[in-house]
Structure 1
């Protein structure tokens, strides 16, 4: 029998699962494990997505150098293609790609370039870790594309091998990735999973991170937000259909919310359909739209207040000028004094974390300093 949740309870579960309530988490590695992954995206209108997601949870104590150390230093976290993950999830990610039905073109391209694959593995065994530019292109059949990946044979083969567990990403030099053999990057003792075991593992991990989610849905690019048969069925007041809920979150003792500024790629709002159904929140990333067609801004940050998504922040960080320019604060609901104070405080904290000064037409006023009582003479 399905559970029955109020809309407010469903929202609280989603916020709590994403570590966006109080108290804040304090451990970087444990935070990433809970979130399941951090999406790597080069856009840095404010900060890179992985850093912005962690700042939203950990606050100003978060130092991006700590993430680099975790990934490239002690490998308590690892980079896969497009994501940073806990090593515990790598076997499932590999098994899912390895055993899933592949597009015939991929199968044919990999088969035709088997000698190329062997050349790469031999070179990495002898000289790894290596940047892709340091690996010779001995492909037999080039990678055809009408887009930017056309003839990027080395990169496509390295990513294919990484997804299948034959190669691992060992670190970075700027935006370029170092590749090496997986036994030099991943911790010892990782299990080999079957396809079914991998799907079960990933579904359970996604539900732990999302709290409440749909079993299936429209195919989306990248990591999908669906959880299969994980968790337990539930009905949400006013929302059609059946959801899956993580049973550990059904009884949240004393939910305490806070205000948070979110990355456009944050998992709380990444599934736009889920965000609209659960939170009544409409969002589109407008960086690809012409300026005169944008409603909220180039890289608007969704604003969370307790268990409600209340608006968007249009701001841009200019590190050369040393300023965080706040162009607008878009209110989806009429802000209360508490909401306004919370949003202004988060903007100041964001600027402080970035080492920038807040400016712009919608910049919050500077907090008043308390007058120091005069000393008696």
Structure 2
């Protein structure tokens, strides 16, 4: 089916919860529904704005507050493990993490390196007897090798904790900021949870259905993101062929979206839906689910986006931590911001509007962007937005 990207954009944004109106509800309950629908929310340590896992949920869930995610961890509604990166996932999907846990336990992944079996056994015994712990709570007491080296050394300890976590012996019970509280998996997992390890074909169907549900429009590259090997490729191809055969999936024919597919029901509903005049601005996290697949983002929305915080300063084009700007159903640019929490000041370092000005409703964009900046500043604990002499902001003459 040949469908221009401009017509597919609403189909891609609505399942993400980035359409005209909220779809997941509010507060902690809305956050849970968002995570269950999206399949995961990436956890990141960078706090230039708000950390990614909170920013992603706040962008979709009215009334979201960071403590809501910890509430969901504590009550067993979500768990932390690995998706394509460290992530918060729905507890209902726990069994689909079991193959990776088994692979780590058997020494087939990079997580298996640099760990000491004796340290791991002692850590498990410590948690079993003394209860939940954090890396910091273990300390490095004197009297153990004089406080130097040995299994109490921070390096071996951290590697052992990571390995026990990745292979599923320990789980994160709750968090204090970025500090994780570990406990035995059997004390964290809810009773009655399905713990059957899925086959590779079951995993492929689950990954496919999750990505299609969350994105509406998907590419083959996206489906295999960081999943390598012929066995996985073959299983995913079987899953796609099954969905094409039962007509729940439609193959697209757009040169800018090679080997792409769309949710058939959502596409049909989109064809019959009245056009929307949705003109809100959203400032998304660089790790947002909607922008993390860069090639798809370029093909579907025309935004060539890269996070430059890992690029040497002289080579940066846009800024250290630019946020993609979504205006209605178009990505129109990016803005580099920093939250100075102690000063309660939200600084706009630079603004890059890349949509043609002749094609951009500036009268609608200016107040919408000002409102989005003010709202994000408030979420970051800042009560003042400082434009200063931010490059690119002048022509907008924002009123904040």
Same fold (TM over 0.5): yes
The Cα of 1:219 is off from its aligned counterpart by: 7.3
Looking at structure 2, the residues matched to 262 and 63 of structure 1 have their Cα atoms a distance apart, in angstroms, of: 16
Flag the 1:170–1:105 CA change in 2: closer, same or farther, 3 A.
closer
Matched, 1:58 2:61: yes
Q: Over residues 243-275 of structure 1, what are the superposed CA-to-partner deviations in whole Å (9 max), with x where a residue is unaligned?
A: 132334222334644421100111211111111
Deviates more, 1:83-92 or 1:163-172: 163-172
- Asked if residue 331 in structure 1 is aligned to residue 353 in structure 2, the reply is yes
Task: Tell me which of 368, 383, 400 is aligned to 1:342.
Answer: 368
Greater shift, 183-192 or 285-294, is seen at 285-294
Q: Is the 8 A contact 1:77 1:87 kept in 2?
A: yes
Equivalent residue number for residue 239 of structure 1: 256
Q: Distance in 2 between matches of 1:348 and 1:108?
A: 45
TM-score (norm 2): 0.77
Change (3 A) 1:105 1:281: closer
Structure with more helix by fraction: 2
What are the ranges of 5 or more consecutive residues in structure 1 without an aligned counterpart?
143-149, 368-377
Query: How big is the shift at 1:151?
Result: 7.6
How far the C-alpha of 1:19 sits from its partner, in A, is 0.8
Aligned to 2:318: 296
Mapped partners of 1:136, 1:359: distance in 2 = 41
Aligned pair partner of 1:83 in 63, 84, 87: 87
Question: 1:107 offset after TM fit, Å?
Answer: 5.8
- SS at 1:309 equivalent: strand
| Equivalent residue runs for 1:210-249 within 5 Å | 210-216=215-221, 229-230=239-240, 231=243, 232-239=249-256, 241-249=258-266
Q: Distance in 2 between matches of 1:176 and 1:45?
A: 18
Tell me, yes or no, if the aligned pair for 2:119 and 2:156 is still in contact at 8 Å. no
Q: CA RMSD in A?
A: 3.1
2:71 and 2:169 mapped to 1: Cα distance? 23
Q: Distance in 1 between matches of 2:379 and 2:111?
A: 43
Report how far residue 105 of structure 1 moved: 6.9
1:254 & 1:33 partners in 2: Cα distance?
Answer: 28
Change (3 A) 1:170 1:349: same
Equivalent residues of 2:211, 2:223 under 8 A apart: no
Change (3 A) 1:240 1:207: closer
Q: Which of 46, 55, 70 is 2:72 aligned to?
A: 70
Match of 2:203 in 1: 198
Say which SS state the counterpart of residue 15 (structure 1) adopts. Answer: helix
1:158 is displaced (CA, Å) by: 2.4
**What is the alpha-carbon distance in structure 1 between the residues aligned to residue 275 and residue 299 of structure 2?**
21
| Alignment equivalent of 2:134, drawn from 131, 135, 139 | 131
- Distance change (3 Å), C-alpha of 1:219 and 1:326: same
For the Cα contact (< 8 Å) 2:281–2:327, is it kept in 1? yes
Instruction: Map 1:309-328 onto structure 2 (within 5 A).
Output: 309-328=331-350
Question: How many matched pairs?
Answer: 350
Please list the CA deviations of residues 81-138 of structure 1 after superposition, one character each: whole Å capped at 9, or x if unmatched.
521111012210122442589547766866xx44443333222221221113445999
Deviation per CA, 1:261-310, whole angstroms, max 9, x where unpaired? 10011121111111111111111111133434322111110011222111
Instruction: Give the structure 2 partner of residue 9 of structure 1.
Output: 7
Contact preservation (8 Å) 1:93, 1:163: no
Provide closer, same or farther for how the CA distance between residues 105 and 214 of structure 1 changes in structure 2, counting only shifts above 3 A: closer
**Is residue 96–residue 199 contact of structure 1 (8 Å, CA) maintained in 2?**
no
Whole-Å Cα distance in 2 between the matches of residues 163 and 15 of structure 1? 32
Task: Select 1:358's aligned residue among 379, 385, 388.
Answer: 385
Give, in whole Å, the separation in 1 of the partners of 2:19 and 2:290. 12
Normalising by structure 1, we get a TM-score of 0.82
